[in-house]
Structure 1
């Protein structure tokens, strides 16, 4: 298990994208897997790294 889950803001900062883009990816269900903790989204860092290595994030 990771030490802790990342917040939406921490995940967006790690990915170097605006928080609004991460919200859009969540809405489309095309972004990294996330968990709802009450009203908040939380991300497992391992899921974020796996998503980056997936087919939707291949370099052009």
Structure 2
């Protein structure tokens, strides 16, 4: 099954940030992305992976 490809603005909306943040992630190669002609798209699963990598679990006492 093919992953949904998000625009930079859609990715930013899902992350709750401005479009500048996903553009920086792309420029720094910190997130997977797809070039479609001159357009850049971010697979929805790449956002999930980014969130999972950044998730910090609470300490257990």
Give structure 2 stretches of 5+ with no counterpart.
57-61
SS in 2 for 1:25: helix
Q: Which has the larger share of helix? A: 1
Moved over 6 A (4+): none
Q: Hey, what does 2:13 align to over in structure 1?
A: 13
| Matched residues, number | 57
Alignment root-mean-square deviation, CA = 1.9
Structure 1 residues 2, 26: closer, same or farther in 2, change over 3 A? same
What displacement does 1:58 show?
A: 3.1
What displacement does 1:4 show?
A: 3.1
Identify which of 46, 55, 58 aligns with 2:55: 58
Larger radius of gyration: 2
What displacement does 1:3 show?
A: 6.2
